[in-house]
Amino acid sequence: GVDGAPKTLLFSGGAATDVLGIPSGVGLNIVSDELGFQKNISVGIDYAYRKKTKLGNLGIGASFGFYNIAISDKWFVPEGDNWVLDDQFAPKAGSQLAFDVGLGIFLRSNDYYLGASVTHLNQASIVFADQASTFLARHYYLSAGYNITLADPLFEIQPSLLIKSDMVSYQADLAMDLVYKKRYSAGLGYRVNDAVSVLLGFELANGLRIGYAYDIGTSALSRYGDGSHEIYLGYGFDLGKNRNKKYKSVRFL
């Protein structure tokens, strides 16, 4: 409901494979973020070493790619108010590309998962033609989730937690999903001091998954909008003869 509201598009793909005989995972991530006069696009290639342990399947990996920041000199000026744009303070249009590195570790079993990662590890500097500059600050992530099987084994409850921080501020997301037959899920989420979310997910056919989330804002900004929507589409390809075709992720979203 807010003109010029942020927009995010994400494409990711990955596969478990052997690289030179080493159990590995490879992936590709592409993210496009639009916020006001700025548009960020990142492309990363991921590699992870995989190992089975007594606690579950462990993955340790890195991401290498590029991060592009583009700035437009066409600022959005709201209608109906006495807004004045001073060209002396408006940024010059331009874009800059930087090399970007991330690291992560993930442990998953049939009952739980734990993860930790850091993005923008190298904190690349970006300098525009007009000498305006910025840098990619490190961001840290911690995630955890658990599967709780109910008295009726067709149903599971899946609580999860995601904490994000740049060491200046932090954001915490809590969620609780009810899953039926490992294919259909419905739940609620809460982002501390920001939003309440309604979560839905289901598997339409073998490998095809659809998820939807609607965020209802709880901050002061929420009075100016009608919430935000998130749509997820995923497909799993059968790359092995012994692959179990049921979807076993602890989260659909």
Distance between CA atoms of residues 91 and 41, nearest Å: 19
- Give yes or no for a contact between 114 and 106, defined as CB atoms under 8 angstroms apart: yes
Q: Classify 36 as helix, strand or coil.
A: coil
Distance between CA atoms of residues 130 and 81, nearest Å: 30
- Residue 96's nearest CA partner among 64, 52, 126, 133 is 126
Beta strands in 91-181 (DSSP E): 94-108, 112-119, 125-127, 133-135, 139-146, 148-149, 155-165, 170-180
Query: DSSP of 162-228, one letter per residue?
Result: EEEE-SS-EEEEEEEEEEETTTEEEEEEEETTTEEEEEEEEEEETTEEEEEEEEEE-SGGGGGS--E
12-16, 104-108, 204-208, 236-240: segment of lowest average pLDDT? 236-240
- Phi, psi dihedral angles at 44 (to 5 degrees): -135, 140
pLDDT of amino acid 82: 59
Q: In angstroms, how far is the first alpha carbon of the chain from the final one?
A: 23
Give whichever of 67-81, 166-180, 206-220, 234-248 has the largest mean pLDDT. Answer: 166-180
Distance between CA atoms of residues 213 and 186, nearest Å: 10
pLDDT of amino acid 242: 47
- If pLDDT is split at 50, 70 and 90, which confidence band does 248 have? very low
User: What integer best gives the mean pLDDT of the chain?
Assistant: 87
How do residues 55-109 score in pLDDT, each as one tens digit? 999 999 999 999 999 988 776 555 655 556 555 555 667 889 999 999 999 999 9
Which residue, chain included where needed, has tokens 């932090």?
170
- Residue 9's nearest CA partner among 44, 45, 41, 46 is 41
How do residues 231-243 score in pLDDT, each as one tens digit? 999 998 876 644 4
Top pLDDT among 222 and 177 is at: 177
pLDDT of amino acid 164: 98
Percent of the chain past pLDDT 70, that is, above it, reads: 85
pLDDT of amino acid 77: 58
pTM for the whole structure: 0.85
- If pLDDT is split at 50, 70 and 90, which confidence band does 161 have? very high
- Give yes or no for a contact between 122 and 111, defined as CB atoms under 8 angstroms apart: no
pLDDT of amino acid 250: 35
- Give yes or no for a contact between 246 and 182, defined as CB atoms under 8 angstroms apart: yes
Residue 90 tokens, joined: 């408006």
DSSP3 helix / strand / coil % (the chain, rounded to 5): 0, 60, 35
